[in-house]
């Protein structure tokens, strides 16, 4: 703000166009989801229906469906079925959140009781399984076998990434290469699949499919790094999650890796002892944060996220799009930049 600018001035929202487009797309996705659930759950047990609705309509950002929609539009297709296809990715996303909460024994998500806390472990597992199965069915039905291959590869990769992350718990010798392999499998490949399937649905050529898939992989990795930063620096009231969960669980994330790589031998040993010691102590978490800050772990990780977003934007800048796809491409670039600013 300049010295002459009034202190109460209101700056224009640089993402206003994106927010407007998101609101419109999300409304259509949610309408498609509700119509699908009404049909798909018609003969199912009422409790299953209740749990699925509770899980799905809990304030999610719907980023994955939005990516599918924009990638399809950019390649020339926008019809009613697109929004149900996009909804399939929200089914999968919510299924993974339910299972994550089961694994973590989490009580809260987005400020509300988790499915496991509200309905119990059996109902949570079964609802997650139903959502996963329904997502696969819809992708195969709406977008064909090639898209289902992409989808299944991404979900298999996601599970394998979780197993590899388990292997690295509290491993102070984990490498950046191992970290990026994990987040590529856990997040990058799945986000890439939402983009690739949107392109496939629209009949995109191989160059378009590759560009959009690469874009998705880059922003998926950036998204995960921002998540890692928010676990240390986020506001619990905004994120709906307690900060420090990753440390408590022994996850070796990028800010910590960068700090370990640049610390003095003495401070590196202190951090290693904290990671391998009693991580339930608040003082241990605070000491670790102080060391990460001392060696610019947070700023270095944020810089890497920005680099990945820049690469994503460059990947699609010169992509050939359908004659009506220019706005979708513009929104994809804006969405990539917006992901760096998110607080939850």
Residue 4 within any structural domain of the chain: no
Residue 124 within any structural domain of the chain: yes
Contact 91, 139 (CB under 8 A): no
Residue 261 within any structural domain of the chain: yes
CA 114 to chain centre: 18
- Range of 59's domain? 16-339
- Residue-wise burial string across 300-339, b where 16 or more C-beta atoms lie within 10 A, e elsewhere: bbbebbeebbebbbebbeebebbeebeebbbbbbbbbbbb
Instruction: Tell me the longest C-alpha to C-alpha distance in the chain.
Output: 66
Gap between the Cα atoms of 1 and 76, Å rounded: 42
Phi (first) and psi of residue 244, to 5 degrees: 90, 5
Residue 6 within any structural domain of the chain: no
Neighbours of 39 (CB within 10 A): 8
The secondary structure element, H or E, covering residue 103 is: helix 80-104
* Per-residue model confidence as pLDDT tens for the chain (344 residues): 334 444 454 567 888 899 898 899 999 999 999 999 999 999 999 999 999 999 999 877 899 999 999 999 999 999 999 999 999 999 999 999 999 999 888 888 877 899 999 999 999 999 999 999 999 999 999 999 999 999 999 999 999 999 999 999 999 999 999 999 999 999 999 999 999 999 999 999 999 999 999 999 999 999 999 999 999 997 776 656 678 989 999 999 999 999 999 999 999 999 999 999 999 999 999 999 999 999 999 999 999 999 999 999 999 998 888 777 889 999 999 999 999 998 77
The residue whose two tokens read 């399937």 is 197
Residue 34 within any structural domain of the chain: yes
Residue 9 within any structural domain of the chain: no
Residues in the chain: 344
> What is the four-CA torsion angle of 215, 217, 155, 102, rounded to 10 degrees?
-120
Gap between the Cα atoms of 191 and 65, Å rounded: 10
Helices (DSSP H) in 168-253: which residue ranges? 176-183, 189-201, 206-233, 236-239, 245-249
Three-state DSSP at 245 gives: helix
The number of folded domains in the chain is: 1
């Amino acid at each position: 703000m300049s010295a002459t600018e009034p202190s109460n001035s209101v700056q224009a929202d640089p993402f206003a166009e994106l927010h407007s487009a998101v609101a419109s797309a999300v409304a259509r996705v949610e309408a498609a989801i509700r119509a699908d659930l009404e049909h798909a759950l018609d003969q199912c047990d009422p409790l299953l229906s209740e749990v699925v609705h509770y899980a799905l309509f809990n304030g999610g950002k719907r980023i994955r469906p939005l990516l599918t929609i924009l990638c399809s539009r950019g390649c020339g297709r926008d019809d009613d079925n697109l929004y149900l296809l996009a909804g399939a990715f929200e089914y999968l996303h919510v299924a993974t959140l339910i299972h994550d909460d089961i694994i973590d024994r989490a009580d809260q998500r987005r400020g509300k009781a988790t499915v496991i806390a509200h309905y119990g472990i059996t109902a949570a597992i079964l609802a997650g399984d139903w959502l996963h199965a329904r997502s696969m069915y819809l992708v195969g039905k709406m977008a064909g076998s090639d898209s289902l291959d992409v989808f299944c590869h991404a979900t298999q990769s996601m599970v394998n990434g979780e197993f590899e992350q388990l292997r690295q718990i509290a491993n102070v010798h984990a490498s950046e290469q191992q970290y990026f392999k994990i987040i590529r499998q856990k997040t990058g490949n799945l986000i890439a699949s939402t983009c690739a399937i949107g392109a496939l649905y629209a009949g995109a050529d191989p160059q378009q499919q590759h560009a959009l898939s690469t874009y998705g992989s880059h922003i998926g990795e950036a998204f995960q790094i921002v998540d890692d930063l928010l676990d240390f620096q986020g506001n619990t009231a905004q994120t709906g999650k307690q900060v420090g969960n990753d440390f408590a669980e022994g996850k070796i994330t990028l800010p910590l890796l960068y700090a370990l790589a640049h610390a003095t031998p003495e401070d590196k040993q202190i951090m290693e002892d904290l990671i391998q010691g009693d991580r339930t102590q608040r003082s241990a978490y605070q000491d670790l944060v102080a060391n990460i800050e001392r060696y610019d772990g947070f700023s270095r990780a944020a810089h890497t996220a920005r680099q990945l977003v820049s690469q994503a934007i460059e990947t699609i800048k010169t992509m050939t799009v359908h004659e009506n796809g220019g706005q979708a491409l513009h929104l994809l670039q804006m969405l990539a930049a917006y992901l760096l600013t998110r607080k939850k």
